[in-house]
Structure 1
Amino acid sequence: MNVGILLFNEVEVLDFAGPFEVFSICSNADQQKLFNVFTISEQTEICARNGLMVHSHYHLDTAPQIDLLVIPGGLGAETVEMYNEPLRQWLLQRHAQAQLTFSICTGAFILAEAGLLNGLKATTHWMDIPRLKQEYPQIEVLSDVKYIDEGQIITAAGISSGINASLYIVAKLHGVDIAKQTAKRMEYDSEFI
């Protein structure tokens, strides 16, 4: 399964690095990797939060098929990328082809602005819950949850919640035992089911 993680300037580091780690190390009993994980961005190199420089695997127009599309958050998501029209068109196309679209933290604003959360329940970072409620009344915004599964779209709350939701997705796709094995390998103590 191809996991494509979107990157952009001012992306929150743990929002993308947490899911990257979960899906990258996930394997079955025969130690075969279950996910092919890669990053995608408009520019080859992006500057994540706090100055971390990251070089993407692919550009938007060169990325292979994406089965699980990951949209992290961060300051860039809620100030620039949610209004980025070429990114919106790319997102709508890739979402239509993907099995799952998964946002973390303020990545929910990118999905909301594209209309993908209309009529659904969703969550985001606790500091941004009031804004999401106010600007997108067509979304049922929930607080005090780590993640919400609405079928083809899963939204996670802030930052480290992306790890919880990633482990949940592993359990959903490959079973609880593999998800627990992945969490143990990461020494991540979490109730994700």
Structure 2
Amino acid sequence: MKRRKVGIFLYDYVDILDFAGPAEVLALTVNNKAEQALTLYKKELLPTRPFEVFTLTETGTEIKTHSGIKVKPDFSINNSPELDILIIPGGPLRAVQSIAKNKKIIDWIIQYKSIEYICSVCTGAYILGETGLLDGKRATTHHLALKVLQEKYPEIRVLSDNKVVHDGNIISSGGVSSGINMALYLVEQIMGKPTAERTGKTIEFLQ
């Protein structure tokens, strides 16, 4: 099976669980039970794992999360590897609105419009909304941001009763912890339900 490169875009004031949840799910996903046992035992992740997960920011410099914890990314948007999957986490509305106004970032996201999956977590859907890639599609976001998203981007069909919404090659998810649901759904789409269930059991997360 192809090893997919997963880029998680970070920015100042991003919510930690929005990106750490999906990162852990995908990084800990393996091909079989034997590899799962080895992953829980060894310090280093197995080179055979199906997802290579890395972080990136606009400039490649350290960012400060919403909770004040600092994170140093692996790449900038200028030197990152080619992506198979792009994940855009959320944060407070002022933070995502600031990113949505950044033409360089929006254009960078648009260039990946045809990759296998583009995913948003929580208010990350607001950033995707600015790209136009959600126009005519179904999507969701944090329950407190549903109205804001719909009013700002009326071409999106915003859903309020789904944790995970899949339309075309775009997967959006609701509140902060729903990024874990989204990542497990992604695993199921790519590797099948048994693998997704095994990964969920590994992290002791019940769908």
Using structure 1 for the length normalisation, give the TM-score: 0.95
C-alpha separation between the residues in 2 aligned to 1:14 and 1:95?
25
- 1:91 is aligned, of 91, 94, 109, to 109
1:8 matched to 2:24? The reply is: no
1:82 matched to 2:137? The reply is: no
C-alpha separation between the residues in 1 aligned to 2:100 and 2:14?
12
C-alpha separation between the residues in 2 aligned to 1:92 and 1:155?
16
- Which residue is equivalent to 2:24? 21
List 4+ stretches of structure 1 deviating above 4 A: none
**Residues 5-42 of structure 1 deviation map (CA, whole Å, 9 limit, x = unaligned):** 00000101100000000000000115231100000101
C-alpha separation between the residues in 2 aligned to 1:77 and 1:10?
6
Residue 77 of structure 1 contacts residue 106 of structure 1 at CA under 8 Å; is this kept in 2? no
2:160 match: secondary structure: coil
**Residue 94 of structure 1: how far off its partner (Å):** 2.3
Q: Which runs of 5+ in 1 are unaligned?
A: none
Larger gyration radius, structure 1 or structure 2: 2
Q: Which runs of 5+ in 2 are unaligned?
A: 36-47
1:115 matched to 2:113? The reply is: no
**Residues 77-129 of structure 1 deviation map (CA, whole Å, 9 limit, x = unaligned):** 42310111100111111233x21000001110111011110000110000000
Amino acid aligned to 2:72: H
1:177 matched to 2:180? The reply is: no
**Residue 136 of structure 1: how far off its partner (Å):** 1.2
Q: CA RMSD in A?
A: 1.1
Identity %: 41
C-alpha separation between the residues in 2 aligned to 1:79 and 1:13?
18
- Which residue is equivalent to 1:40? 56
**Residue 134 of structure 1: how far off its partner (Å):** 1.1
Amino acid aligned to 1:182: T
Residue 77 of structure 1 contacts residue 107 of structure 1 at CA under 8 Å; is this kept in 2? no
Amino acid aligned to 1:12: D
Residue 27 of structure 2 contacts residue 53 of structure 2 at CA under 8 Å; is this kept in 1? yes
C-alpha separation between the residues in 2 aligned to 1:171 and 1:163?
12
Amino acid aligned to 1:151: G
2:71 match: secondary structure: strand
- Which residue is equivalent to 2:205? 188
C-alpha separation between the residues in 2 aligned to 1:183 and 1:52?
26
Residue 97 of structure 2 contacts residue 126 of structure 2 at CA under 8 Å; is this kept in 1? no
- Which residue is equivalent to 1:134? 151
